[in-house]
Amino acid sequence: MDKKTVYIISGPTAVGKSLIAFYLAKRIRGEIINCDSVQLYKYMDIGSAKPEQHEMSVVRHHLYSIVDPDYNMTAATYQKLASAVIEDVLARGKTPIICGGTGLYLNSILYDMSFAGSKNDYARRLELEQMAEERGSEYMHHYLNALDPDSAARIHPNNTRKVIRAIEAYELGQGIRDLAECELNPRYDFKFFVINMERSWLYDRINRRVDKLIEDGLVDEVKSLLAKGYSLANPSMKAIGYKELIAYLTGECDIYDAIDDIKKNTRHYAKRQITWLKRYDFANWIEISKGETVGQIVDRILSN
């Protein structure tokens, strides 16, 4: 059986993934499938930097704004949704383009994973990996210390992978296979591209984008979500850009501190995304140069 081609456009936040995926889709009769955990939610348009309406009207986009902010999306559910969309796109003779930087969702597509309820399933691991991605290594080490202080004392706080394994060992016992032992999803021929750029340039883009999100009305978007009854009790509202503005709106800080926190937390998140993406030794890294056009970047992707 010939494997069907599936493109993946990933990379750190603010690197330009959505626009690159859009131009790629126009070139190859593609359709874009969201792989960003926040863009799945309704009413969270500005803060999650969803693609422009113009882009969505020209190229078909899937899995954007599909659930309410109080829905607890799991990797298992995302895998089912994304797999169904991939098959639908292929059945219509189009090319699926996965676009986003949520690592555990990428894993659920890339690897031949079963989420059946067994000791060796990956559901809990992916939950822990999502926790680490959203909250960072220090939080995970504190979490382990609360469960198993002896293990926490032996493991460096920055070794998030070992911290996660120790939490698994405490909760589930031994015998959990490493992700490296899991085969790539055999149904597809993945053309996996990580878009990246020089760090100081990326950080400058992040800072400028946060300023634009504020200018575009992010504060009012957060106010509207709070008025609908959503709060930090909902995991979606802990996303960067939302939690910091909730702190401002509840009087915990001023707007300038909130904006600075969004910028700082987004830069830290981008750094964690790059670290995560380096684990995929089969991915093609596209380092963007200043002055390079989106068309030239797409040319480089298609030449691989």
Mean pLDDT of the chain: 90
The one-letter amino acid at 266: T
Domain boundary among the residues 181, 206, 228 is at 181
Nearest to 159 by CA among 143, 172, 141, 139: 141
What pLDDT does residue 139 have? 84
* 168 and 105 in a common domain: no
pLDDT at 86 > cutoff 70 = yes
Q: What is the CATH number of the domain that holds 163?
A: 1.10.20.140
Cβ pair 144, 152 in contact under 8 A: yes
Q: Tell me the backbone φ, ψ of residue 100, rounded to 5 degrees.
A: 155, 175
Give the residue numbers spanning the domain of 143.
123-181
> Taking the model in full, what pTM does it have?
0.83
What pLDDT does residue 119 have? 45
Instruction: Report yes or no on 212 lying in a domain.
Output: yes
Lowest mean pLDDT, pick from 47-56, 78-87, 177-186, 209-218: 177-186
Mean pLDDT, rounded, for 156-165 = 88
Instruction: Report yes or no on 118 lying in a domain.
Output: no
Lowest mean pLDDT, pick from 69-78, 168-177, 227-236, 280-289: 168-177
Mean pLDDT, rounded, for 35-64 = 97
Token digits for 189? 């021929």
What pLDDT does residue 181 have? 63
* 219 and 109 in a common domain: yes
Dihedral over Cα of 269, 275, 276, 278: its sign: positive
Q: How confident is the model at residue 117 (pLDDT cuts 50, 70, 90)?
A: very low
pLDDT at 173 > cutoff 60 = no
Indicate the number of domains in the chain. Answer: 2
* 100 and 227 in a common domain: yes
Taking the CA atoms of residue 131, residue 136, residue 137 and residue 143 in that order, the dihedral angle to the nearest 10 degrees is -50
* 195 and 233 in a common domain: yes
pLDDT at 22 > cutoff 80 = yes
Q: How confident is the model at residue 280 (pLDDT cuts 50, 70, 90)?
A: very high
Cβ pair 30, 94 in contact under 8 A: yes
> Residue 118: enclosing H or E segment and its boundaries?
none
* 135 and 100 in a common domain: no
Unique residue bearing structure tokens 């009305």: 217
Nearest to 78 by CA among 106, 59, 50: 106
